[in-house]
Homo-oligomer: A and B are copies of this chain.
Amino acid sequence: MTTIRQQVLEANVELSRRGLAPFTFGNASAFDRASGVVVIKPSGVSYTAMTERDLVAVDLDGRVVEGKRRPSSDLPTHLALYRAFDSIGGVVHAHSHYATVWAQASREIPCLGTTHADHFHGSVPVVAHLSDDEVAGDYEANTGHAIVRRFSELDHRNVPAVLLAGHGPFCWGATVTDALDTMTVLEEVARLAYDTVVLNAAARPIPDGLRDKHFFRKHGPGAYYGQPR
C-alpha cells in the first residue's frame, strides 16, 4: 500500500505544480483492486503542507481503514467510478481552467484536431446539472451515478474524461499517474478547442478517418507510435 500512497501524494502535488488546481480545488485517488483499498486526499488541506500521513485509506463503501483525516468531500464520486469502470485504478478531479470553462459553458469538447484524437476517441462529454433533489440528497454520490449513466453508451477506456456542467472535469486511468497525465492533456486540448471555436465558430470536427488513424496509431493492438515494448 505504500506505493499507492506515494503515487497519490505525488499526483495531488503535481496537480498544483502543473497549474491544474488553483488553491485546493482538486483531488486525486488510487484504487488497489487486490486489497479493495482506495487512497485519497484529505479535505481542504493545502498541497504544500500535505504528507503521506494526511492521506486517507477507505474501502469501496467509504469506510475509513487507515488515517486520521476527513477524506475529500468528493470521495463518493470517486467510489462510484471505481465500482462502475472495472479497468481503472486512478481518478483525478480539478478545476483546471479551460476544462472548467467548457463545463461552465455546458458544452462538450468536440474533436477539432489530431492533438485531441491522439488521446480521446471523440468528444469529451458533459454531464448535465443534477436535479434539485439529487443535489439536496447525497450530492457527491449522485454526481458519480450521473457520470456512470452518461457513459452507458460510451467506452470509458477510449474517452477517459468527463465534464460536470457548471463545475469541472473528472479524469481516470489505469493508475492515478495516468489519470493525472490525461487531465494535463485535457487542459491543452480544451484550450486548443476554445481558441479554435472563438476564431471560427463554424469549425467542424476532423473527419472520422483521421480521428481513428490518430487514436489507433497510439492505442490498441495496431499501434505503431513510440518505441517497441
A-to-B contact residues, CB < 8 Å: 22-23, 25, 42-45, 69-70, 73, 95, 97-98, 100-107, 112-115, 118, 129-130, 132, 135-136, 139, 166-168, 184-185, 188, 191-200, 203, 206-207, 209-210, 213, 217, 224-228
Contact = CB atoms under 8 A, between A and B. Distances in A.
A226 B120 CA distance: 34
Given A70-B227, A209-B136, A210-B130, A23 B167 contact: no
A194 to B, nearest CB: 6
A135 B44 CA distance: 44
Q: How many identical subunits does the complex contain?
A: 4
Contacts of A114: 95, 166-168
A104 B113 contact: yes
Contact of A102 (B22, B194, B199): B199
Contacts of A213: 135-136, 139
A167 B193 CA distance: 12
Contact of A135 (B166, B192, B200, B210): B210
Given A103-B113, A209-B132, A213-B136, A44 B199 contact: no
Nearest to A226: B44
A169 to B, nearest CB: 12
